[in-house]
């Protein structure tokens, strides 16, 4: 847990200046933290489980409060959308999962966001892929 929190904090600090300067930045991957209750099928059952502990959630929410956008939530605010399921039998089929894979976009990238998705039908891992679509003009903005 200390390593995970230190990583979140160090990455946040490293990206703070370019983010504030308007750089279009995407931070995307397995955060291993579900920020909100709607990001878990069973939040009460997992209140004391790594990946949903208050200190982890607070760190991811700090990113969002500072201006980063959870790209998937721009397009889908509801519950029942997950990116990870336990490998126990039947859990994925019953959609008892967690949304712990995130694609965060900086304010400089937000105007170029055109879509974001999770792909639960893609199997082969306990995670499913996530994707986002950015307007090609983001490439010009990043070299501007």
Catalytic residues: 30
Q: Rounded to 5 degrees, what are φ and ψ at 56?
A: -70, -50
Q: Which domains does the chain have, with CATH numbers?
A: 2-143 (3.60.10.10)
Q: How distant, in Å, are the alpha carbons of 21, 26, 98 from that of 17?
A: 6, 14, 31
pLDDT tens per residue across span 107-121: 999 999 999 999 999
pLDDT tens per residue across span 52-64: 999 999 999 999 9
> Whole-model pTM?
0.94
pLDDT band with cut points at 50, 70 and 90 for residue 144 = low
Q: What is the CA radius of gyration of the chain?
A: 16
- Over range 65-79, report the average pLDDT: 97
Q: Rounded to 5 degrees, what are φ and ψ at 115?
A: 175, 160
Residue 121 neighbours by CB under 8 Å, 6+ apart: 128
CA-angle at 83, arms to 104 and 29, nearest 5°? 35
Q: Which pLDDT score is estimated for 141? A: 84
């Amino acid at each position: 847990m200390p390593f995970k929190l230190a990583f979140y904090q160090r990455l946040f600090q490293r990206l703070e200046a370019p983010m504030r300067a308007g750089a279009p930045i995407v931070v995307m991957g397995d955060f291993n933290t579900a920020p909100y209750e709607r990001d878990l099928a069973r939040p009460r059952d997992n209140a004391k489980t790594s990946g949903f502990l208050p200190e982890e959630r607070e760190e991811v929410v700090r990113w969002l409060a500072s201006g980063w956008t959870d790209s998937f939530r721009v397009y889908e605010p509801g519950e029942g959308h997950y990116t990870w399921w336990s490998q126990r039998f039947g859990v994925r089929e019953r959609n008892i999962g967690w949304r712990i894979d995130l694609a965060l976009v900086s304010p400089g990238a937000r105007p170029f966001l055109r879509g974001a998705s999770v792909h639960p039908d893609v199997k082969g891992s306990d995670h499913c892929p996530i994707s986002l679509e950015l307007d090609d003009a983001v490439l010009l903005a990043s070299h501007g």
